[in-house]
Amino acid sequence: MKPRILTIDPNNIDIGLIKQAAEAIHNRGLVAFPTETVYGLGANALDSRAVTGIFEAKKRPLDDPLILHISKIDDLFLLAKNVPPEAEKLVNRFWPGPLTVVLEKTDMVSDIISTGLETVAVRMPSNPIAKKLIELSDVPIAAPSANLFGKPSPTSAKHVMDDLKGRIDIILDGGPTEIGVESTVIEFVEGRSIILRPGGVEVDLIKEIAGDVEIASEGDHTIKSPGKYPQHYSPNAKVILVEKGPQQVDELLSQVKRLTSEGHKAGILASQGHEEYYKTFNVKVLGPGENGEICASRLFHLLREFDSEGVDIIAAEEINEEGLGLAVMNRLRKAAGPDPE
């Protein structure tokens, strides 16, 4: 069964179409919708059977917790308790927006959402379509990214259709997403603020509000946040990330020439200004290496574009980890997967 695709102008929202999607939410339907980060796959967070449908549609492991999406800050205190001052300061500064807070859950949050943890992840998106859907549904909406588990997150309705055709009920097509990588996820432990996943809110901006901020080690196997698996966001093609500083162009060229000689169909994900070095190969420009915002907005789209061309190996350059560059490099490292031991 094909999902219904409802095309909505985010600057002139058709409330009738949003009401159709809200009705589906209340009837245990699955609705894909745009946020400012990526497209989410939403279900009624207060209905455990509906939430189970998310895991089934995405083929998502049952130990990977979901983020709850709300439309007003007051709802945070229905879903979470013992909210520390640092969390309140951050949500007052960055909500609505691409920040997810992990807090001790209340009894309203089912174990299937928290995957048995005593915590819940909550955020308030700023995309007007997402906000209106949550508001008219009048329930928190559980929503991971609207893709098959482990694949690059969807930044357009087409990406959702490519992955989930026949698995969901409605796609709200609000055009391409703005940021292109998921929200920043942060938890609060004994007065410490710990970033579990870098994302759409830059770490330096969080530090301005919360003071000292730690970034969780990839060796921390306690999964309190989506995207904490060692391999994630991966296209069908194998991703090789070349992090060699000034030598990265020579190293990448060497690897791609070897792979091509072995019969592989290789693609190169390059920083702007380096594409001339790779002009004899299939090269796509991620963006200026020092501009994480542009690179973030293009990343998942380009990984999926390589897949559509039948590329079997993608060699990617590193970019500067300032600003959203940190989130981009996190996603590229996850896409490449852990180094073989």
pLDDT of residue 211: 86
pLDDT of residue 222: 57
pLDDT digits (tens, 9 = 90+) for 245-272: 889 999 999 999 999 999 999 999 999 9
Residue 191 lies in a domain: yes
| Confidence check: pLDDT of 170 > 60 | yes
Here the CATH number for the domain that contains residue 10 is 3.90.870.10
Question: What's the rounded mean pLDDT across residues 181-192?
Answer: 94
Tell how strand 266-271 and strand 282-287 pair up. Answer: parallel
Domain boundary among 215, 247, 266: 215
pLDDT of residue 251: 96
Answer yes or no: do 175 and 60 share one domain. Answer: yes
pLDDT digits (tens, 9 = 90+) for 64-122: 999 999 999 999 999 999 999 999 999 999 999 999 999 999 999 999 999 999 999 99
Answer yes or no: do 13 and 131 share one domain. Answer: yes
| Confidence check: pLDDT of 9 > 80 | yes
Answer yes or no: do 84 and 204 share one domain. Answer: yes
Tell how strand 313-317 and strand 238-242 pair up. Answer: parallel
pLDDT digits (tens, 9 = 90+) for 187-203: 999 888 999 999 999 99
Query: DSSP class of residue 339?
Result: P
Question: What's the rounded mean pLDDT across residues 237-246?
Answer: 94
Residues in the chain: 341
Answer yes or no: do 251 and 205 share one domain. Answer: no
Show the tokens assigned to 129: 């379509």
228-243 CB burial, b ≥16 within 10 A, e <16? bbeebbbbebbbbbbe
Helices marked H in 12-66: 15-26, 48-58
Residue 316 lies in a domain: yes
Backbone angles phi, psi at 334, to 5 degrees: -65, -40
Answer yes or no: do 66 and 136 share one domain. Answer: yes
CB 61 within 8 A of CB 231: no
Residue 165 lies in a domain: yes
Answer yes or no: do 209 and 247 share one domain. Answer: no
Structural domain of residue 107, as residue ranges? 4-215
Residue 257 lies in a domain: yes
Residue 9 lies in a domain: yes
pLDDT of residue 190: 87
Q: Give the C-alpha separation, 327 to 332, whole Å.
A: 9
pLDDT digits (tens, 9 = 90+) for 10-26: 999 999 999 999 999 99
Place of tokens 């501009």: 291
Answer yes or no: do 294 and 190 share one domain. Answer: no
> What's the pLDDT band for 340 if we cut at 50, 70, 90?
low
Residue 48 lies in a domain: yes
Answer yes or no: do 150 and 186 share one domain. Answer: yes
Residue 224 lies in a domain: no
Nearest to 298 by CA among 307, 308, 288: 288
Residue 26 lies in a domain: yes
What does the mean pLDDT of the chain come to? 95
Answer yes or no: do 299 and 161 share one domain. Answer: no
Answer yes or no: do 59 and 204 share one domain. Answer: yes
Here the CATH number for the domain that contains residue 274 is 3.40.50.11030
Answer yes or no: do 15 and 88 share one domain. Answer: yes
State how many domains the chain has.
2
pLDDT of residue 221: 47
Answer yes or no: do 277 and 144 share one domain. Answer: no
